[in-house]
Structure 1
Amino acid sequence: MASTQIFFIIATMAVFVPSVLAKEFVVGDDKGWTNNFDYQAWAKGKVFQVGDTLESD
């Protein structure tokens, strides 16, 4: 019985922890989506992970 409870706790954490750790990135920061912007430079140094979202301002 205890192993079933432990499995349930681990399974629940596996589902919810990534969503809690997810980040929202505003693409281009204060410039937003625009022409003549270096998006590669903007992305440099950022670490994107599964669950993160890209937003526009």
Structure 2
Amino acid sequence: MAKLTPKGQEQDHQIRIRKLENDLDHQKIRIDALKKRVVSQHDEIEKLRKAVKPKK
């Protein structure tokens, strides 16, 4: 890899930081979507449990 000038290195670092921040945002979005799926599945399980076990 060619040696960058200090200014070029700074720009390269800024680009890398932006890319990592962007990746992190995407991961957070995916985590939120997975959490919502888990919650909805949990709700569905509770509904099924109540349907199977009628109240006395």
Scaled by the length of structure 1, what TM-score is found?
A: 0.42
Q: Greater CA radius of gyration, 1 or 2?
A: 2
Higher-strand-fraction structure: 1
Q: Which structure has greater helix proportion?
A: 2
Give the TM-score taking structure 2 as reference length: 0.42
